[in-house]
A and B are shown apart, each in its own frame.
Chain A
Amino acid sequence: NAGVTQTPKFQVLKTGQSMTLQCAQDMNHNSMYWYRQDPGMGLRLIYYSASEGTTDKGEVPNGYNVSRLNKREFSLRLESAAPSQTSVYFCASTLRTGSLGYTFGSGTRLTVV
């Protein structure tokens, strides 16, 4: 039982490049989330998927897109990376949205130069 698996763990991009962060959970959770973590700012919600087939914007969605490929997988795409997107990205999932603790992935440290 792997929980929430994120890939890659580290990535360096040049400004303007694109990439997709992958996330998969094997806990049969309905809701999945993408957060970014910056020093002194806690975790900020980028996008979420309340259930398979739905996605919605969170607090800081600009510059990102997401795809809920199936119940297990939720990917985050940066179409044209900017230095302001340098951050640690966490995927999370929960069985029942908003009422149970989230299970987080191990994170992706992204640097945009």
Chain B
Amino acid sequence: GENVEQHPSTLSVQEGDSAVIKCTYSDSASNYFPWYKQELGKRPQLIIDIRSNVGEKKDQRIAVTLNKTAKHFSLHITETQPEDSAVYFCAASIIDNNDMRFGAGTRLTVKP
């Protein structure tokens, strides 16, 4: 089955700096890659996703890039704010397949 690795496990940045979280996946058939944000004690919430027919997707300060050849994808957060502090999870799946696999998570801390 799919295996997703996520790095780093913790990341601390100054407010206003950029943050990058990277994930690699093992199954070349995977074609859907969502990112979730989980604030302390809350449920994971989808913040952005990308399909394999697209190399990059942006939504305001958040962007995701995908390199199918290398089988890795990254989350980029620009102009970070304290409210961006949370645990971020990447995931990979095959569309119409139920076995979505999650990375272990990255705890992002944005220092004011």
B61 contacts the other chain (CB 8 A): no
Looking at the complex, which one of B42, B89, B94 makes contact with A43 (CB distance below 8 Å)? B89
Looking at the complex, which one of A40, A98, A107 makes contact with B97 (CB distance below 8 Å)? A98
Is the CB–CB distance between B104 and A41 below 8 Å? yes
Interface residues, chain B, with chain A CB atoms under 8 Å away: 1, 4, 6, 9, 32, 34, 36, 42-46, 49, 51, 89, 91, 93-105
Looking at the complex, which one of A42, A45, A50 makes contact with B89 (CB distance below 8 Å)? A42
A75 to B89, CA, bound (A): 25
Looking at the complex, which one of B6, B94, B99 makes contact with A45 (CB distance below 8 Å)? B99
What is the interface size of chain A, counting residues whose CB is below 8 A from a CB of the partner? 27
A90 to B89, CA, bound (A): 14
Q: Which residues of B have CB within 8 Å of A33?
A: 98
Q: Which residues of B have CB within 8 Å of A105?
A: 43
Q: State how many angstroms separate the Cβ of A39 from the closest Cβ of chain B.
A: 9
Interface residues, chain A, with chain B CB atoms under 8 Å away: 31, 33, 35, 40-45, 48, 50, 56, 58-59, 90, 96-107
Q: Which residues of A have CB within 8 Å of B89?
A: 42-43
Q: Which residues of B have CB within 8 Å of A59?
A: 1, 99, 101
A105 to B91, CA, bound (A): 18
Q: Which residues of B have CB within 8 Å of A97?
A: 96-98
Is the CB–CB distance between A98 and B43 below 8 Å? no
Is the CB–CB distance between B102 and A58 below 8 Å? no
Looking at the complex, which one of A42, A99, A102, A106 makes contact with B103 (CB distance below 8 Å)? A42
